[in-house]
Chain A
Amino acid sequence: MQIYLPIAEVSVNAFLLLGLGGLVGVLSGMFGVGGGFLMTPLLFFIGIPPAVAVATEANQIVASSFSGVLAHFKRKTVDLRMGTVLLIGGLIGAALGVVVFNYLKAQGQVDLLVKLCYVVFLGVIGGLMFFESLRAIRNTKKGAPPKRKKHNWIHGLPFKMRFRVSGLYISVIPPLVVGVAVGILAAIMGVGGGFIMVPAMIYLLGMPTKVVVGTSLFQIIFVTAFTTMLHATTNYTVDVVLAVLLLVGGVIGAQIGTRIGVKMKAEQLRILLALMVLAVCGKLALDLLLQPSELYSLGAAGGH
């Protein structure tokens, strides 16, 4: 069944979109990630204009994060204070990101920027995750307990603040910086940034793992909602029909994914996720490295 998307102005198969939403939903349910970093490139592949894909995906992440954060609120695993600090950084970052996005869109380089961001981040994170889980699998075979650093240079910074839920007394600068960085990425890449935020919160801020996911979801909702509004009012690129189709598929997929995820071991899951991230990264990198079959591309005029 073909459906005409009013903002993207292309006609696509509705079942293809439901299927994509479902597939990414299964994966996000299995691995506990938002899935935006997979969905946005997939939307590029099926011919949704990149600007629409990025803006619409931000809207979809609001929904999946909202669904997730409710569960975390019930378990009281959201650090509202830390979340708010990250959020302030995130909003500044998102505003900067949209400015950069619009500037590059006018220059005709937005596709390049989005794809480069993806290749770099997916490559780095996929690689790190792959080796980390390989090591973890080897360690569990040997039976060595994983170590964690307690003190580093971050604890020497000024403007300290107490974060009771996380059990931390640290400077507000590092969470602000993390927030800004993730906000910029959210605006440019159309992702929630969970896959960058979560490692940063654990390894840089030293937050306990149990509050990390809930807190990151809490702030992602607001950052992506803000990004959606910015894209909707400055670029007119949020396609609500596309978002709804992806959402419906995603919700059903996530439920299936969660059940599969329960039956698998954490290290196996992480290796699979790492391989998948690397595969998407590889495909995007090839697009940049190989000579495209069509050297020319069309764009709206008036970019000066």
Chain B
Amino acid sequence: MRALILALALLTALPAMAEEVVLGLSSDQVSINTSFDGSEILIFGAVKREEAIVDEPRLQVIITVSGPSEPITVRRKEKRFGIWVNTDALEIDSAPSFYAVSTSTLLGLSLSETEDVRHRVSIPRAIRSVDAPDTISDSESFTEALIRIKSKSNQYQLNEGTISVDEQTLFRTAIELPAALTEGDYQTRIFLTRGGAVVSQYETSIFVRKVGLERWLFTLSRENAFLYGLMSLAIAIAAGWGASAVFSAFRR
């Protein structure tokens, strides 16, 4: 709330471009601890401008949150010898582990096709797939499958009309982060558009980090795999020995 007031105060204080974003986040850090079960991030802000508000075309807001990108292999099953096995595979060069697009109205209305291509806003544009091997003729169905699977687990979201805009100046939305979240810097972009054209753009990052025990175990398992393995075994043997000791104590 304080950030909002601050944002409003800034509106009058600073000289600027035609229209500019002043942003607030409920938190810029998401901690994955042992009891992590998803999280919600509030994104709110204000539009700072010098001139009077233009009524038409109306101001629209688009917010994208994008997790760290990585190459992904999409595999397709086919029936071979009576059972379903993975046959064709397509490697997608770069797909974000999480991607959410929120808009103040339908995405098609607030952003033109050319602007979408330039800024890579919509979900299919956020995925980069260069060329498919000759054996695969229908590479689109693989990217569609990727979007379908990720959308089902809430890792890709298209939230149309979830940003509320007041007086073409104040906007806010909430973005749901699923429980199965990977670490990294989540790039957050805010676009102001009028008549499908981007008039202003703002970027920031939300940091998603494993903390505490999660952090320690994950780091140990990657950087000191041998020690981690030994520790797992030691815990297992201690538990087994403890169980047997408790058992015989019960029998007596």
Q: Which residues of B contact A67 (CB under 8 A)?
A: 239-241, 243-244, 247
Which stretch (A78-86, A143-151, A153-161, A228-236) binds chain B?
A: A228-236
Residues in B neighbouring A240, C-beta threshold 8 A: 217, 228, 231-232, 235
Per the 8 Å Cβ criterion, residues 194-243 of B in contact with A are 210, 213-214, 217-218, 221-222, 225-226, 228-233, 235-237, 239-241, 243
Cα distance, A297 to B222, chains bound together (Å): 25
Contacts of A264 in B (CB 8 A): none
Q: Which of B53-61, B74-82, B107-115, B184-192 contacts A (4 or more CB under 8 A)?
A: B74-82
Q: In this assembly, does B132 line the interface, its C-beta being within 8 Å of a C-beta of chain A?
A: no
Does A60 interact with chain B (Cβ within 8 Å)? yes
In the bound assembly, the distance between CA atoms of A6 and B210 in angstroms comes to 8
Instruction: Say how far A253's CB is from chain B's closest CB, in angstroms.
Output: 11
Report whether A295 and B76 are in contact in the complex, using a CB–CB cutoff of 8 Å: yes
Chain A residues whose CB sits within 8 angstroms of the CB of B3 once the complex forms: none
**A302–B73 CA distance with the chains assembled, in angstroms:** 8
Complex partner residue of A112 from B82, B85, B217, B222, CB under 8 angstroms = B85
Min Cβ gap B66→A in Å is 17
Task: Judge whether B145 and A66 touch: CB under 8 Å.
Answer: no
Q: Report Cα–Cα, A229/B232, bound state, in Å.
A: 9
Asked if B124 is at the interface of the complex by the 8 Å CB criterion, the answer is no
Within the assembled complex, what's the spacing in Å between the Cα atoms of A60 and B240? 9
User: Which chain A residues (1-58) contact chain B, with CB distance < 8 Å?
Assistant: 1-4, 6-7, 9-11
Whether A244 contacts B235 by the Cβ 8 Å rule is yes
Q: Any chain A CB within 8 A of the CB of B89?
A: yes
- Of B38, B77, B145, the residue contacting A292 (CB under 8 A) is B77
Least Cβ–Cβ distance between B159 and chain A, in angstroms: 22
Q: Are A2 and B232 in contact (CB under 8 A)?
A: no
**In the complex, chain B residues whose CB is within 8 Å of the CB of A236:** 221-222, 225
Q: How far is the CB of A226 from chain B (nearest CB, A)?
A: 10
Write the chain A residue with the least CB distance to B216: A6
Chain B residues, CB < 8 A from A295: 76-78, 145
A294 touches B149 (CB 8 A): yes
Query: In the bound complex, how far is the Cα of B238 from the Cα of A70, in angstroms?
Result: 12
Q: How far is the CB of A50 from chain B (nearest CB, A)?
A: 13
Q: Could you tell me if A70 and B241 are in contact, using CB atoms closer than 8 angstroms?
A: yes
B72→A238 contact, CB < 8 A: no
Q: Which residue of B lies closest to A297 (CB)?
A: B75
Task: Let me know if B83 is at the binding interface, CB within 8 A.
Answer: yes
**Shortest CB–CB separation between residue B184 and chain A, in angstroms?**
12
Q: Once bound together, how far apart are the Cα atoms of A256 and B145, in whole Å?
A: 46
Q: List the A side residues contacting B142 at CB < 8 Å.
A: 296
Q: Which of A68, A244, A299, A302 has the most CB of B within 10 A?
A: A299
Cβ contact within 8 Å between B72 and A11: no
Whether A64 sits at the interface, judged by CB under 8 Å, is yes
Contacts of A296 in B (CB 8 A): 74-77, 142, 145-146, 148-149
A109 touches B85 (CB 8 A): yes
Q: How far is the CB of B101 from chain A (nearest CB, A)?
A: 20
B168 at the interface (CB under 8 A from A): no
Please tell me if the beta carbons of B32 and A4 are within 8 angstroms of each other in the complex. yes
Interface digits, B1-38 against A, CB 8 Å rule (1 contact, 0 not)? 00000000000000000000000000000001111111
In the bound complex, residues from chain A placing their C-beta under 8 Å from that of B37 are 2, 4, 11
The 7 closest A-B pairs by CB, nearest first: A232-B229, A66-B240, A296-B145, A11-B179, A301-B71, A63-B236, A67-B240
Q: List 27 A-B contacts (CB under 8 A).
A: A2-B37, A3-B35, A4-B33, A4-B36, A4-B37, A6-B221, A62-B233, A62-B237, A66-B236, A67-B239, A70-B241, A228-B229, A228-B233, A232-B221, A232-B229, A241-B217, A251-B246, A288-B83, A289-B83, A294-B145, A294-B148, A295-B78, A296-B148, A297-B149, A298-B146, A299-B75, A301-B73
